[in-house]
Structure formats: structure tokens, C-alpha cells
Amino acid sequence: MMSVWQGFAVLILGYLLGSIPFGLIITRMAGLGDIRKIGSGNIGTTNVLRTGKKSLAAATLLCDALKGTVAALLAKSFVGPDAALVAGFAAFIGHLFPVWLGFKGGKGVATYLGILLALAWPVGIAFALIWLAMAFTLRYSSLSALTASLISPFVLLAMGDNRTALVFGAMSLILWLKHHENIGRLLSGKESKIGAKSSPAPAADSGGGTA
């Protein structure tokens, strides 16, 4: 049974790990300036890809996923399975609302995947395959992520992992809310496709970025 202090500790650990803005750090280290000033203004993988640097986008994807994986696995190793769920959820929230960036972060897709791989790796593989299949055929990163995140909690339920399904159901709901502008553009046919050229970021996010 996880104590209150253990719960608080893994909550802080998860949030701090999740709040590391790898997209911003990686692009700045590469000499590309502030990623928030191009494309959608998002710090995630899709917007990093708009720099034309696929290696940087891949590094961002990996790091954003791993921070969720590491948070969940550390909490599970030192405290237990319940702590892993708390730390994973906190890492997801940290990515979306990082204290270092005025609580304006990414949209959580890569971190969601990293946590899913840590807690239920077969479902994580399914998530990745769904995303890849849809992205390859339709070229919409946001639609791919929305579809994969919608299906994942139901797969967890079908596997009998009710607590994990509940946590990922909440994460999926938040992820969909963070993508509300993308959903509007998808419905109006104005959503940017994967590989679209970068442009200066508007005052408010209006690009097709995700992750």
C-alpha cells in the first residue's frame, strides 16, 4: 500500500521528469533557436519535424517518450504498481503544463506512448502501429494520435486491466481536449499534414502540431 508521502514523492518525480522540454532543448542545442517561433509553436515532435531536421524530430520523440517511461518504471521499482500509475499520469501532466515554460507545453502524445509502453507494452505497441498506419495513409499526425489514444483505454479494459484503463482514459480525454484546435481544423479540412513546411508561429497556436 502506497503511503501519502510516497504518493507525493512519485507525483513530484513524475511531474518534474515530464516537464523537461526536450523539443525546445534539442533544437536550441542544434542552433535552430526557439522552436516555439515556427509552425504551430508547439514543443513536440511534429513541430520539430517542421525544421526539416528528421534526426532532431526523432530525438525529441524518443526523449519525450522516455521521460514518461522512466517516471513510471522508477516509481514501480521503488514503490509499486500504483505508484507507477501516479508517476506516469504526473509525467503526462508535466509535459502538457511544464512549470519552466509558463505551463505551456506539448500535447502529450509521445509521453502518453512512453507511459503506455512502461505499464502495458503490448498496448503501447498497438498504439504505435495504429499511429503509423494512419499517419502513413492519411498524413495527419493529430488524427493518428487521436485515434490511437481513443482505442488504447478500451484495449486495456478488454485485457482486464481496469485501473490502468481508467488512468489512460483520463489521459486520453485530456489529450483530446489539448487537440481541440486540431479537431476543428480536421473537420474544416484545414489541418496541416505531416511534412508541411514550417512558418512563423502565430500569437495563438494555429498549426497542426501534436506530441
Q: Total structural domains in the chain? A: 1
96 pLDDT band, cuts 50/70/90, is very high
Per-residue confidence (pLDDT) for residue 182, from 0 to 100: 93
The whole-angstrom distance between residue 115's C-alpha and the CA centroid of its chain comes to 9
Per-residue confidence (pLDDT) for residue 211, from 0 to 100: 66
For 147-166, what is the mean pLDDT? 97
Residue 205 in domain: no
Domain span at residue 52 reads 4-188
> Please, are residues 88 and 35 in contact by the beta-carbon 8 Å criterion?
no
Residue 198 in domain: no
Residue 199 in domain: no
- CA atoms of 173 and 166, how far apart (whole Å): 11
Of 139, 149, 148, the C-alpha closest to 174 is 149
Residue 44 in domain: yes
Residue 203 has pLDDT above 60, yes or no: no
Instruction: Burial-class residue 150 by CB neighbours within 10 Å (0-12, 13-18, 19+).
Output: middle
Any idea what DSSP says for residue 35?
Answer: G
Per-residue confidence (pLDDT) for residue 121, from 0 to 100: 97
State whether residue 38 is helix, strand or coil. strand
Per-residue confidence (pLDDT) for residue 204, from 0 to 100: 40
The C-alpha cell 502501429 sits at 129
